[in-house]
Every structure is written in structure tokens, then in C-alpha cells.
Amino acid sequence: MPWVRIDGDELRVEDARIVWTPAVTANAEGIAFWLRASGGRTVMHIAGWAPGTSAADLDGQDVRIENPGPDAGVDGRFMTNARVRFGRVTSDRAVVSVDGQVEALEPSDDSIATFEADLVCTVAPMAERDHCLGCGGPLDRYAATRDEFVAGFRITQRVLPVLCPNCVGVVDQPRFCPTCGTAFAADAVSTHGEEGRTGYTARCVQGHVFSGALPG
């Protein structure tokens, strides 16, 4: 059974998953990954980078994370370091062991707690959003690159806007699924925040979910 322990106290894990995406750093090809384990609440989350071109390349890798920052935490505490060992990784499943240290809950407490985890994770690539939310048209021609930090690594990713230039400032809510281009049914779009200022969640008939805000 999967588990997460902090100083010997075991936290219940009901679901664990890894999402990954291609990410170049220091001119080396690799993938950025986000691991999340949850139970009655989020139990653990951790992000990292490893060499490779697909999730299967994580098989057998031992990834040390020395500067996790806000990308990693256990039971509401920030990690100070972590070691992620991948075993038996396929395109859709991974066995993962994690151990490291976390900060104390109180800012005035300098003590460090140890943690460890054994998990069986589902694995999936980050959803590629190729269609405009407003008109459903392709967005490849508007692709750009963006640099950001993941667990201390400066990575470069390919990113797409959610709206094409013709729809920016014109479209007032998601109309087409960004993953497959299928039109959203009117009752499949929900609004969050006053007058739609915060964002939307929508699910298409293929089961893809969009959650976020529109620019403009």
C-alpha cells in the first residue's frame, strides 16, 4: 500500500500521480515532472527536472532536489531537500520512493523533520492545448518559449496562448475545448468569481477539462 511518513507518523494516501512535460535546461534535453500524492487532503507535492525525452526515461533514475522552494511540500510544510528514486516506470505507471527533510510548522522553530514515501503513481503528459478557447482554431503559429524555475532548475518550455489574437478581448467565456477543439455545451461551463473575473471551468464531451481565466 502507498504511504507517506513524517518522523514515523503515517499519512493516508488515496491517489498519486505524475504529470510531465518536455523542458530544456542548460541546453540539455529533459522533462519537468510534478508528483502529487493526496488523501483526505493534499499530502505531498514535489516538482523536479530529469534528463530524458519521455516519462519512460525516468525508469531507474535517482533525482536529487536541493532547492525545492515552493514547488515541494509535505502535510503543509515546505521541503528543504528531497531524493526521488524512480523504479519500473512506463508511459502510464510508476513506482516511486521519496525521502528528504521538511521545515517545522512554526516559523520560530528551527527543527527539521524527516519524511519518506513509497508510492504507485499514474503517469500522464501535461495536456497539450492546441485550440483557441474562442474559435477553436489552431494555435501552433502563436507558440512561444518561456523560461521558469522548477525546483532550482531554469527550464525552457514551449507555451501556447489560450486565445488567438482575433479572440483576445472579444471572447467572454470558453467556447471550445483547448485540447480537442470540441465546442463546449452551454451547461458545461461554470463561472468562478464575481462577473466571471476570476475564471472558468468547463468539461467537453470527450472528458477534457479546462480551468482558468481568459486574458484581456
Q: Which domain holds residue 51?
A: 3-125
Q: How far apart are CA 58 and CA 36, in angstroms?
A: 16
Pairing of strands 15-22, 77-87: unpaired
Same domain for 30 and 121: yes
In a domain, 21, yes or no: yes
Confidence of residue 194 (pLDDT cuts 50, 70, 90): very low
The answer to the question of residue 72 being in a domain is yes
Please give the pLDDT value at position 37: 92
One domain, residues 110 and 173: no
Which residues neighbour 174 within 8 Å (Cβ) at sequence distance 6 or greater?
133, 184, 189, 200, 202, 210, 214
69 lies in some domain? yes
Q: Are 37 and 107 members of one domain?
A: yes
Is there a single domain that holds both residue 98 and residue 169?
Answer: no
Tens-digit pLDDT profile for residues 128-184: 788 999 999 999 999 888 888 888 788 888 888 899 999 998 888 899 999 999 999
Q: Are residues 97 and 173 in the same domain?
A: no
Residues 205 and 104 in one domain: no
Q: How far apart are CA 121 and CA 16, in angstroms?
A: 5
The pTM (predicted TM-score) of the whole model is 0.75
Are 88 and 182 within one domain? no
pLDDT tens profile 71-106: 888 888 889 999 999 998 998 999 999 999 988 777
The domain tally of the chain equals 2
Q: Is residue 19 part of a domain?
A: yes
- State which of 125, 150, 180 marks the end of a domain: 125
13 and 68 inside one domain:
yes
Instruction: Judge whether 32 and 150 are in contact, CB under 8 Å.
Output: yes
